[in-house]
Structure 1
Amino acid sequence: MRRVVITGMGTVNALGLDAPTTLAAMREGRSGISQLAFRDVERLTIQIGAQIHDWHPETWFNRQQILLYDKFTQFTLLAAKEAVAQSGLDFQGELGLCSGVVLGTAAGGMNTWDENYRVVYEEGKNRVHPFVVPKLMHNAAASHVSMEFGLRGPSFTVATACASSNHAMGLAFQMVRSGGARVMLAGGSEAMLCFGGVKAWEGLRVMSRDACRPFSANRNGMVQGEGAGVFVFEDYEHARARGADILAEVVGFAMSSDAQDIVMPSAKGAERAIRGAMHDAGLNADQIGYINAHGTGTAANDKTECAAVAHAFGHHADQVMISSTKSMHGHCIGGTGAIEMLACIMALRDGVIAPTIGYEEPDPECALDVVPNVAREARVDAVLSNAFAFGGLNAVIALKRV
């Protein structure tokens, strides 16, 4: 079994259009949540989100590319270019043949769906653009990334709602660890902040109208976000041989299914994934210094997740720091785990724990160290990243400092 390391990271989200800007915002505890701005937003009950404002695709893509790329693909390509540039890898020749990409998304080209439903149903037209299908398909971003960098190994997309990115990164880790690939680009992307995307989530009645306050007693729901995160997962010996700057080591991954309810989370299912990731990594609870929580800010998720952590960590639960960066960049659904991976790398590499902002009142059912409101300097050697999705699908990744 090979060791697996991360040698590049890139992101696009409401906190910043690259990794350094995003990490600076996390350190400052800055919120990327604001008033939504798109067509028909006034018809929505929920009018806030972590939206990337003033997004101008022509800055990065030509006219032909824009016709082919839904916004979720645009986000992904920009993040992937940043990650690959940082890694210093060139995929020409043999390396491209044993490298691939696996990405997560819950909705794929939601903006393309939204726009073209309008064309057909509202405007009454009988034709749509011939590129609609290749633009909206879930694997569009993965396919364009593989073409952009000449990745001819395993390339595919994972769609498991809010756990999509963690599942994608976990599978990439397993492929490199097993020798199935030498390098994998992995992460996820989502762009659901359009009328149809927000209207659908409104129906669940889990959305906040004012702020995301994970673990706070007065929390009142999640806030949607958008964006992408992409990472270069590389065989450790390959990275070391070329003198790469190693950001973190991926050491464990576990998945579990609640098999219980389509929307209500299970503490037991989450606990099994947390324990499984630690077991896979060969780590004990007292070796984990930080957990990036799923932490959506809903009543059900936060107390369930805290119960899962408390059970999995036992008497070490009060020693581990746990925070939800969704309080800043929003819940980016299928892309959220990838954006949250940045906070895990920051904890390991820089010794900075991203805070849970918006925290106002302690909740007895969330009685853990949630790093309220202000970032904290602390040396940690190992971290977990949690993702728990609708459908009862859980995915937890473990990382270590190198």
Structure 2
Amino acid sequence: MTSPEIAVTGLGLVTAAGLDASSTWAGLCEGKSTAARDPALAGLPVDFSCRLTGFDPEASLGRRLTWRLDLFSEMALIAATEAVADARLDPSTWDGSRVGVVIGTGSGGNTHLASDYAKLQAGRIEEISPTAIPRSVPNMVAGEIGIYLRALGPNFVTATACASGATAIGTARDLLRSGACDIVITGGSESACSRMASAAFSQAGALSARACDPAGASRPFDAERDGFVLGEGAGVLVLERAGHARARGAAVQAYLAGYGASADGYHPTAPDPSGAGVLRAIAAAQADAGMCPSDIDHVNAHGTSTQVNDLTEARILRTAFADVPPVTSTKSVIGHCIGAAGAIEAAVTVLALRHQTIPPTANLERLDPEIDLDVVRGAPRAHAMHAAMSNSFGFGGQNAVLIFQTT
């Protein structure tokens, strides 16, 4: 193994399982899906999702700020603020020119844009908000974090569909390695629970149609899985060069040891059944970390709960590892947060290493007989871990693999 260069010094999470990192971790370890009937999706073929509960951004950010923000920026700001506080950093005293922001999102803000579009269609032009564009375009999630936290270094968004959050973290690593930044606030944020997203994904056959049992709908690797459940949330990590973290006496939670990325070059939405692209990304991440497959003690799977994706990922893992380590899927509890998924799962992977515990995959009642994996289910599993891998795959055949290791 190579000496780790990049330290994780702070985490922030906003998910349907909890509105901060500790409550999200507790919810994931409880192993119960947060999916429920969603009034905002009433009348659609799929009318349930994994929504945030009790989320009050105005209480944290104030009315003046939240007036101009879409939900994806609100979630990211709150997660970023938690992560920076967790890292024991004070934006009022840091050199903001050395602090970067890289956030992944799949589509940007759609919560307010839908209502503004309805006003346009109805001819009520004068009612359209002057903030319609700046609160909805994807780059604003990073821009708002830079404004709020006075992070004045490189500031941008990555968009690789469901791999966006993981791609952002890998890109943040590159900024630190290049010397462009001392600190990077990185992760992903997305609210995918819109009527358009539900209708479109449903038409594509990607969503679970288990309307009679929303809480049982997201069931990665289960023989009866029939699609994913839409979710929303944000995950943010504070990354620093290890030397910088040591110099300021920071408590290092884990190290980002490896990152690998690739493209399938196969199909706009379906994974390459050969798994060649993902295998290249896994190999690249392991090489970057100076590890071999036997060094990986746990995999946080992409685990969407769709027939094809789960089976393909299982086959890939069996090819990549002589003995596949224990696997879990975070999406079973909080749904699929699209552009935020990879970042949330990266943060959960760090928490798993910290607690030496793997949270269970919810709703896994009967493992698909074609999936030969040790999937943690039923209850959290105490497990000795030095290194863990998080997989993220997106439309366009975009793959991102992250490896974290203990301190």
Q: CA deviation at 1:371?
A: 0.8
Residue by residue over 1:372-392, the C-alpha shift from the partner in whole angstroms, topping out at 9 and shown as x without a partner, is 232100110001110010110
User: Out of 241, 247, 256, which is 1:241 matched to?
Assistant: 247
| Counterpart residue number, 1:126 | 125
User: Out of 287, 291, 316, which is 2:295 matched to?
Assistant: 287
Question: Whole-Å Cα distance in 2 between the matches of residues 144 and 62 of structure 1?
Answer: 14
Question: Does the aligned pair in 2 maintain the 1:163–1:393 contact within 8 Å?
Answer: yes
| Counterpart residue number, 1:114 | 114
Matched, 1:174 2:151: no
| Counterpart residue number, 1:257 | 263
| Counterpart residue number, 2:309 | 301
Question: Whole-Å Cα distance in 1 between the matches of residues 373 and 58 of structure 2?
Answer: 45
Q: CA deviation at 1:92?
A: 4.4
Question: Whole-Å Cα distance in 2 between the matches of residues 335 and 136 of structure 1?
Answer: 16
Normalization by structure 1: what TM-score? 0.95
Question: Whole-Å Cα distance in 1 between the matches of residues 229 and 103 of structure 2?
Answer: 23
User: Out of 382, 390, 396, which is 2:395 matched to?
Assistant: 390
Other structure's SS at 2:402 match: strand
| Counterpart residue number, 2:323 | 316
User: Out of 206, 210, 220, which is 1:214 matched to?
Assistant: 220
Question: Whole-Å Cα distance in 2 between the matches of residues 247 and 339 of structure 1?
Answer: 16
Distance 1:2 1:380, change over 3 A: closer
Question: Whole-Å Cα distance in 2 between the matches of residues 94 and 70 of structure 1?
Answer: 27
Q: Percent identity?
A: 38
Residue by residue over 1:354-386, the C-alpha shift from the partner in whole angstroms, topping out at 9 and shown as x without a partner, is 111111112232111111232100110001110
CA RMSD of aligned residues (A): 1.4
| Counterpart residue number, 2:50 | 50
| Counterpart residue number, 1:357 | 362
Question: Does the aligned pair in 1 maintain the 2:4–2:256 contact within 8 Å?
Answer: no
| Counterpart residue number, 1:277 | 285
Other structure's SS at 1:43 match: coil
Residue by residue over 1:251-273, the C-alpha shift from the partner in whole angstroms, topping out at 9 and shown as x without a partner, is 11010000010011021111111
Distance 1:356 1:223, change over 3 A: same
**Residue identity matched to 2:130:** P
Question: Whole-Å Cα distance in 1 between the matches of residues 232 and 51 of structure 2?
Answer: 6
Q: CA deviation at 1:339?
A: 1.2
Question: Whole-Å Cα distance in 2 between the matches of residues 76 and 34 of structure 1?
Answer: 23
**Residue identity matched to 2:25:** L
State how 1:153-192 maps to structure 2 within 5 Å. 153-192=153-192
Question: Whole-Å Cα distance in 1 between the matches of residues 326 and 123 of structure 2?
Answer: 54
**Residue identity matched to 2:125:** N
Question: Does the aligned pair in 1 maintain the 2:19–2:55 contact within 8 Å?
Answer: no
Residue by residue over 1:118-172, the C-alpha shift from the partner in whole angstroms, topping out at 9 and shown as x without a partner, is 1111x33123111111000101110010111111111100111100000000000
| Counterpart residue number, 2:12 | 10
| Counterpart residue number, 2:232 | 226
| Counterpart residue number, 2:213 | none
Question: Whole-Å Cα distance in 2 between the matches of residues 185 and 159 of structure 1?
Answer: 16
State how 1:372-383 maps to structure 2 within 5 Å. 372-383=377-388
Other structure's SS at 1:119 match: helix
Question: Whole-Å Cα distance in 2 between the matches of residues 116 and 60 of structure 1?
Answer: 25
Question: Whole-Å Cα distance in 1 between the matches of residues 49 and 311 of structure 2?
Answer: 23
Question: Does the aligned pair in 1 maintain the 2:16–2:52 contact within 8 Å?
Answer: yes
Other structure's SS at 1:250 match: strand
Question: Whole-Å Cα distance in 2 between the matches of residues 98 and 207 of structure 1?
Answer: 42
| Counterpart residue number, 1:399 | 404
State how 1:9-158 maps to structure 2 within 5 Å. 9-38=11-40, 41-92=41-92, 95-121=95-121, 123-127=122-126, 128-158=128-158
Other structure's SS at 1:230 match: strand
Other structure's SS at 1:256 match: strand
Other structure's SS at 2:134 match: helix
| Counterpart residue number, 2:214 | none
**Residue identity matched to 1:316:** D
Question: Whole-Å Cα distance in 2 between the matches of residues 183 and 62 of structure 1?
Answer: 26
Q: CA deviation at 1:193?
A: 1.2
Unpaired segments ≥5 residues, structure 1: none
Question: Does the aligned pair in 1 maintain the 2:8–2:255 contact within 8 Å?
Answer: yes
**Residue identity matched to 2:378:** N
Question: Whole-Å Cα distance in 1 between the matches of residues 92 and 125 of structure 2?
Answer: 44
| Counterpart residue number, 1:203 | 203
Residue by residue over 1:70-106, the C-alpha shift from the partner in whole angstroms, topping out at 9 and shown as x without a partner, is 0000000000110001111124466311111000000
Question: Whole-Å Cα distance in 2 between the matches of residues 54 and 346 of structure 1?
Answer: 23
Distance 1:69 1:198, change over 3 A: same
Other structure's SS at 2:390 match: strand
